[in-house]
Amino acid sequence: MTAGSRLPEGSYDAVWASPGRVNLIGEHTDYNDGFVLPFALPHSTVVAARRRAEPGWTVTSEQTGETVAFQDEKVEGWAAYVAGIVWVLREAGHDVPPADLWITSDVPFGAGLSSSAAIECATMAVLVDLIRASGGADLPMQLRPRLAQRAENEYVGAPTGIMDQAASTLCRAGHALFLDCRSLATEQVPFDVAEAGLAVLVIDSKAPHAHVTSEYAARRRSCEDAAKLLGVTALRDVDVAGLDDALAQLDDEVMRRRVRHVVTEDQRVLDTVAALRAGNLRAVGSLMTASHESMRDDYEITVPQVDTAVRVALEHGAYGARMTGGGFGGCVLALVNEDEHESIAAAVREAFAANGFAPPDSFVVTPSAGTRKISR
C-alpha cells in the first residue's frame, strides 16, 4: 500500500509524494559545504491539495487526525513544516493560492529518516503545481532544496544542512545522489545492490533522541569556529592531505576531533563514489564502517544502541555498517548479502534484548524515486 491510498476519497487539484532518505555516507558534512551521498527510501509522504475560495490554508494529517488552519500567524508542531513552505514560497515572491491540504506518510517519525523533509518537499511540490496552474512561475526542482532548507532553518528553527531536502527532491530510483553541498552540483550514481547480490538493511535503533537539537547545533558551531581559526570559508576547504597541518593549528582537542571527522568523512564520500563508479559495491562496506567509527570516536554522536547494532551486524557478516542521519539515536545501515539480512536482523534483536534495549525495527530498502506526481 502506498501512503497515498490513505487520502480521503475525492478529487484533488494536485497530489505529490516525496520520500524519506537514508544517507549512504557523508554525515555532518553538508553544513561544512562538503559532500553527501544519500538515497531515497520507498517510504514517502503524500500531500494532496484542493484550491479554496476563502483566504488561508488548512492542513489535515491522516496520522494525527488534526486539522490546522493558518494565514499569517506562526504555526508550531508538525504543521510548521507545511506552514514554513507556504511562508518561504511567499518570501520568494510567489503568490501561493489558498488551499486545503491533506497529508499522509509512511516514513517513520523521529527515526532520523527525514520525515520532516519529506513533508516539506511534498508540500512544496503541490503548492508549486497550484501556483503554476494559476499562471504563476514554475520553480525548477534544482532550486527547491535551498528554499525548503530555509523554511526548516528560519521558520521551524532547526539549523540543519541541505542534504535531506536535496535527497527528498532530487533522488532517482536505483541511484544514490552525490551532492556537492557548496556548488549544489549533483550526480546520480548507480547503486543497484540487488544486482550485486546484496541488500541494504535499515535497523531503527528506537533509541530516544535526547538533546539532538542542542548537540547538533553545538557540532555545527564547533565546525564553524574551527573554519574561522583555520582561515577557510568552511571545513570543505581542508582536504585529507592538509589535515595534519590544520590540526596542528588548533589547540582544542575536542575541536580537533570534530575537524578530523568532517575532513576524513568528505574523503570517504569521494572514495565511496569512486568504488560505486567502478562497480565495486562490497568496497563500500569498509568505508561505511570507518565512517561509523569516526562518528563514534571523533564526532561523538552515536549512542550504545547504534554502536551495538553496528558491532553485531559486522560480527554476523555485514560488509559494513554505520549510523545514518544526525545522530544520538536513529537508524543504522548495514550492507549485507541478500540472503543474510534476516539472520543479521535477528542477531541485532537478540543483542538488544540481552542489553535491555527496546526492540529495534528492521527493514530492507532499495534506492527509490525522489519527489514525484501522483495521479488520482
**Unique residue bearing C-alpha cell 528554499:** 147
CB of 320 to ligand GLA, least distance (A): 17
Catalytic residue among 164, 204, 266, 298, which?
A: 164
CA distance 19 to 122: 8
Among 320, 325, 360, 367, binds ligand GLA (CB under 6 A): 325
161 binds ligand GLA (CB under 6 A): yes
344 touches 313 (CB < 8 A): yes
28 binds ligand GLA (CB under 6 A): yes
Which residue, 94 or 322, has its beta carbon nearer to ligand GLA?
322
CB of 33 to ligand GLA, least distance (A): 12
Instruction: Give the Cβ contact number of residue 350 at 10 Å.
Output: 11
Characterize 71-92 residue by residue with b for buried, 16 or more Cβ atoms within 10 angstroms of its Cβ, and e for exposed: eeeebeebbbbbbbbbbbbeee
Site string for ligand GLA, 31-60 (x = CB under 6 A): x-----------------------------
Quick one: which segment of 11-19, 100-108, 161-169, 193-201 binds ligand GLA (CB under 6 A)? 161-169
163 binds ligand GLA (CB under 6 A): yes
Q: Is 85 helix (H, G, I), strand (E, B) or coil?
A: helix
CB of 329 to ligand GLA, least distance (A): 12
Question: Which residues make Cβ contacts (< 8 Å) with residue 359, sequence separation at least 6?
Answer: 206, 349, 352, 353
Sheet architecture: strand order including 175-180 = 35-36, 175-180, 186-190
The grid coordinates of residue 169 equal 527532491
Considering only residues 164 through 183, tell me which ones interact with ligand GLA, judged by CB under 6 A: 164
Count of residues of this chain found to bind ligand GLA when the rule CB under 6 A is applied:
10
Active-site residue list: 164
Question: What residue ranges bind ligand GLA (CB under 6 A)?
Answer: 27-28, 30-31, 160-161, 163-164, 325-326
